[in-house]
């Protein structure tokens, strides 16, 4: 064989050259390439494993004890490669927003952490907003009823193009609020925060003792601040505003006293009695009411687990689901870790058996979420007004709602040629929706029959006109709403007007919930009949109300009595 290299230099030169080159390389890179001699480890689900993330991120502060990175590391939440020693290698597959529901089963919902809660959230009303989608399709006239149907889930909407005007409207204006919408930017965006799955609610300000020494991470905690709810619930029903005594007004309203962070003008109104006592959202709303109990529901009213009587008129405690009991125990332990007062007594329970773990049934007290203070829960008075014949169908809110946010008209225009961000597609797409509210303000609670058959507060939802679409909409819709403005009861005359009842009982239009309806004319007539008497018989304990029908019958039989005219007027049918 002919050698192209004539000298057998390889045997002479290569061994020492290779040895020197490799040795030089080793010296150049050093004995500890990754700058430490200790492998960081954490314990997850009872098993110790490597967590190389801490080599670079060991200084992160702000997470409380439950999610302390020195105890659980970074990768259980943010995934990535906890055995990586180079940045790119370690960050492969990392999820910056760990709580997004698209990934939550592997992060928050991993075994040993919160699998049950994550599974429930994924089926909850907040995750896919099925009711919102169904009602919007009904409002736009694309369906005959507001009934939630299979496929009504924002997470099931695909592609860049909406299938209908109602879907387009939801995708561009409403969809940002659903918890299932993946959040793309890290951190707390305050009032502008939208979506993000678990982190939509569970993100908080960094938890620090003393001065910050390292990089700050938002806290992730079961102690959800009311500000987390406000981003979404200061809209539509506006319960976050109403509860704290704020009402959205028209810009030229003389009662305007400020603006929300998004620019909407607001004024002051009486805050809910619970807010005045220091309550925040989590003082009433249970984790099962918010994250769901695993049952697929369409609307918030189906999901909400708490009712006034659970605390104010507690009956025999229903049996608690084991999972609810377990979570309540976890939450009490978390409360104790954060320095809250010891909670050991048997709590009140909701109608579904969820323990209201910060209450104590024996003393009738509740410890408040934000301040840890104990407050006494006044029991419902067993007075005539609470047990009157004819009031059986009344919800607590029907009488104790002190005011409602009202938006008497909503004009929506569609512009085909403009671009607007589509929250489902994640980019701007053709077609834009422009809402012009009108008559934002304050008013009494309207009353109608809610989806569960009770008389509940209603508000405009909406007096709607939609232009620019193939089938323009012009209709009046009424929506049941617990506005969270609880206070002293309204007077008898407010609900029993003897003249025009339309200020309290809407008579035209449809409701936005299946099973809900406006009061029939005969029902309104009955209400007004009482109104004839209330002017004089204004006490709840007045004997005429003991059996109203008998009283009216007796009155009609006294046609020749002394106050004949008055009696005749009282007993005559209403107009």
Partner 1 sequence: MDERDGRLASGSKAGRGWTQRFGLPTLGALTLGALAVCVVSGVVVATGYDAARPVDSVLAFELGRPYGWFFRALHAHSAQLGLLGLIAHTLEYLARGGERQVPPGHWVVVMVSLPVTLYLMLGGRALVGDAEGLGVAAVMRGLLEQLPVFGAAAADVLVGANVGGNMTLLLTHHVSSATLLLLVLTVAHLKRVVPDAAATAVALGLSGAVALAVRPAVVLSDAPVALEGPWYMAGLRLMLQHLPAWFAGLALPLSFYLLFSSLPWLPEARVRAVRFVIFAISVAYGLLIAMAELT
Which string of b and e fits 257-271 if b means at least 16 CB within 10 Å? eeeeeeebbbbebbb
Instruction: Return the half-sphere exposure (C-beta side, CA atoms, 13 A cut-off) of residue 438.
Output: 9
What is the SS3 string spanning 9-78?
HHHHHHHHHHHHHHHHHHHHHCCCCCCCCCCCEEEECCEEEECCHHHHHCCCEECCHHHCHHHHCCHHHH
Shortest separation between residue 70's beta carbon and partner 1, angstroms = 17
21 in contact with partner 1 (CB under 8 A): yes
Closest CB to partner 1 among residues 48, 185 = 48
Peptide bond into 462 cis (omega under 30): yes
89 in contact with partner 1 (CB under 8 A): yes
38 in contact with partner 1 (CB under 8 A): yes
10 in contact with partner 1 (CB under 8 A): yes
Closest CB to partner 1 among residues 91, 143 = 91
Instruction: Give the C-alpha separation, 481 to 118, whole Å.
Output: 28
N- to C-terminal Cα distance for the chain? 121
71 in contact with partner 1 (CB under 8 A): no
88 in contact with partner 1 (CB under 8 A): no
4 in contact with partner 1 (CB under 8 A): yes
* Binding window for partner 1 (CB under 8 A); candidates: 44-52, 256-264, 325-333, 430-438: 44-52
337 in contact with partner 1 (CB under 8 A): no
In this chain, which of 14, 503, 535, 550 binds partner 1, going by CB under 8 A? 14
In this chain, which of 15, 329, 539, 559 binds partner 1, going by CB under 8 A? 15
Closest CB to partner 1 among residues 113, 456 = 113
Shortest separation between residue 122's beta carbon and partner 1, angstroms = 16
Helices (H), 338-485: 396-400
Three-class SS of residue 466? strand
Near partner 1 in 196-215, by CB under 8 A: none
What is the SS3 string spanning 343-374?
CCCCCEECCCCCEECCEECCCCEEECCCCCCE
39 in contact with partner 1 (CB under 8 A): yes
1 in contact with partner 1 (CB under 8 A): yes
Compute how many residues bind partner 1; rule: CB under 8 A: 53
Instruction: Give the C-alpha separation, 562 to 180, whole Å.
Output: 70
In this chain, which of 42, 72, 95, 174 binds partner 1, going by CB under 8 A? 95
Closest CB to partner 1 among residues 44, 173 = 44
Query: Residue 570 has which token pair?
Result: 């009282």
DSSP designation for 529: H
With CA atoms as reference, report the closest residue to 457 among 467, 447, 466: 447
- For residue 507, what are the β-bridge partners? none
Rg over alpha carbons for the chain, rounded to the nearest Å, is: 31
Query: Residue 304 has which token pair?
Result: 């909400």
Q: In what order do the strands lie in the sheet with 359-360?
A: 359-360, 365-367, 374-376
Shortest separation between residue 55's beta carbon and partner 1, angstroms = 8
Instruction: Give the C-alpha separation, 244 to 309, whole Å.
Output: 22
Closest CB to partner 1 among residues 62, 76 = 76
Instruction: Give the C-alpha separation, 557 to 550, whole Å.
Output: 11
5 in contact with partner 1 (CB under 8 A): yes
Shortest separation between residue 154's beta carbon and partner 1, angstroms = 22
- From residue 299, how far is each of 156, 406, 510 by CA, in Å? 17, 21, 17
Shortest separation between residue 29's beta carbon and partner 1, angstroms = 6
**Pattern 417-456, partner 1, x by CB under 8 A:** ----------------------------------------
With CA atoms as reference, report the closest residue to 266 among 243, 246, 242: 246
* Binding window for partner 1 (CB under 8 A); candidates: 5-13, 241-249, 283-291, 443-451: 5-13
Note the Cα 92 to chain centre separation in Å: 33
* Binding window for partner 1 (CB under 8 A); candidates: 34-42, 204-212, 226-234, 411-419: 34-42
46 in contact with partner 1 (CB under 8 A): no
Closest CB to partner 1 among residues 94, 208 = 94
115 in contact with partner 1 (CB under 8 A): no
In this chain, which of 58, 68, 83, 568 binds partner 1, going by CB under 8 A? 83
81 in contact with partner 1 (CB under 8 A): yes
Closest CB to partner 1 among residues 76, 431 = 76
Sequence-distant (≥ 6) Cβ neighbours of residue 33 within 8 angstroms = 85
In this chain, which of 33, 43, 503, 536 binds partner 1, going by CB under 8 A? 33
* Binding window for partner 1 (CB under 8 A); candidates: 78-86, 245-253, 389-397, 452-460: 78-86
52 in contact with partner 1 (CB under 8 A): yes
With CA atoms as reference, report the closest residue to 569 among 504, 517, 499: 499
50 in contact with partner 1 (CB under 8 A): yes
546 in contact with partner 1 (CB under 8 A): no
Shortest separation between residue 378's beta carbon and partner 1, angstroms = 50
Closest CB to partner 1 among residues 15, 329 = 15
Determine how many CB atoms are found less than 10 A away from the CB of residue 417: 7
Instruction: Give the C-alpha separation, 53 to 48, whole Å.
Output: 15
Binding residues (CB under 8 A) for partner 1: these are: 1-5, 7-11, 14-19, 21-22, 25-26, 28-29, 31-34, 36-39, 41, 48-50, 52, 75-76, 79-86, 89, 92-95, 103, 106, 110
């Amino acid at each position: 064989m002919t050698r192209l290299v004539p000298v057998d230099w390889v045997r002479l030169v290569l061994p020492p050259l290779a040895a020197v080159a490799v040795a030089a390389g080793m010296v150049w890179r050093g004995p500890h390439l990754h700058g430490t001699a200790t492998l960081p480890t954490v314990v997850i689900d009872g098993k110790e494993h490597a967590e190389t993330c801490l080599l670079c991120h060991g200084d992160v502060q702000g997470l409380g004890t439950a999610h302390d990175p020195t105890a659980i590391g970074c990768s259980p939440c943010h995934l990535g490669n906890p055995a990586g020693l180079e940045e790119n290698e370690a960050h492969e597959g990392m999820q910056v927003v760990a709580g997004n529901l698209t990934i939550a089963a592997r992060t928050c919902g991993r075994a040993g952490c919160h699998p049950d809660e994550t599974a429930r959230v994924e089926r909850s009303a907040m995750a896919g907003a099925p009711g919102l989608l169904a009602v919007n399709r009904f409002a736009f006239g694309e369906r005959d009823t507001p009934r939630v149907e299979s496929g009504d889930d924002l997470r099931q909407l695909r592609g860049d193009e909406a299938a209908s005007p109602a879907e387009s409207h939801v995708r561009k204006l409403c969809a940002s609020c659903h918890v299932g919408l993946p959040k793309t930017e890290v951190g707390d965006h305050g009032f502008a925060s939208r979506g993000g799955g678990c982190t939509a609610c569970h993100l908080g300000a960094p938890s620090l003792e003393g001065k910050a020494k390292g990089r700050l991470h938002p806290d992730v905690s079961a102690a959800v601040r009311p500000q987390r709810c406000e981003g979404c619930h200061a809209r539509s029903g506006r319960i976050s505003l109403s509860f704290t005594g704020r009402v959205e007004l028209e810009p030229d309203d003389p009662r305007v006293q400020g603006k929300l962070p998004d620019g909407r003008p607001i004024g002051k109104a009486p805050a809910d009695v619970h807010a005045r006592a220091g309550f925040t959202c989590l003082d009433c709303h249970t984790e099962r009411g918010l994250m769901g109990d695993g049952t697929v529901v369409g609307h918030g009213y189906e999901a909400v687990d708490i009712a006034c009587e659970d605390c104010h008129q507690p009956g025999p405690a229903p049996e608690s689901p084991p999972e609810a009991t377990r979570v309540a125990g976890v939450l009490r332990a978390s409360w104790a870790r954060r320095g809250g007062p010891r909670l050991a007594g048997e709590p009140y329970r909701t109608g579904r058996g969820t323990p209201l773990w910060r209450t104590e049934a024996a003393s009738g007290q509740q410890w408040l979420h934000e301040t840890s203070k104990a407050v006494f829960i006044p029991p419902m008075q067993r007075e005539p007004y609470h047990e009157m014949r004819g009031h059986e169908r009344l919800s607590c809110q029907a009488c104790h709602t002190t005011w409602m946010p009202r938006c008497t008209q909503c004009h929506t225009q569609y512009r085909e040629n403009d671009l607007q961000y589509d929250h489902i597609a994640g980019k701007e797409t053709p077609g834009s929706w422009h809402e012009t509210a009108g008559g934002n303000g304050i008013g009494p609670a309207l009353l109608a029959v809610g989806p569960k058959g009770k008389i509940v507060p209603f508000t405009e939802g909406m007096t709607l006109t939609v232009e620019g679409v193939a089938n323009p909409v012009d209709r009046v819709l009424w929506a049941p709403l617990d506005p969270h403005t609880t206070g002293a009861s309204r007077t008898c005359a407010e609900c029993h007007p003897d003249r025009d009842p339309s200020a309290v009982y809407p008579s035209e239009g449809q409701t936005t919930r299946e099973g809900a309806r406006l009061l029939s004319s005969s029902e309104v007539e009955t209400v007004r009949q009482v109104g004839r008497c209330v002017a004089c018989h204004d006490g709840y304990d007045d004997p005429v109300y003991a059996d109203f029908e008998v009283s009216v019958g007796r009155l009609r039989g006294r046609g020749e009595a002394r106050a004949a005219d008055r009696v005749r007027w009282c007993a005559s049918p209403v107009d």
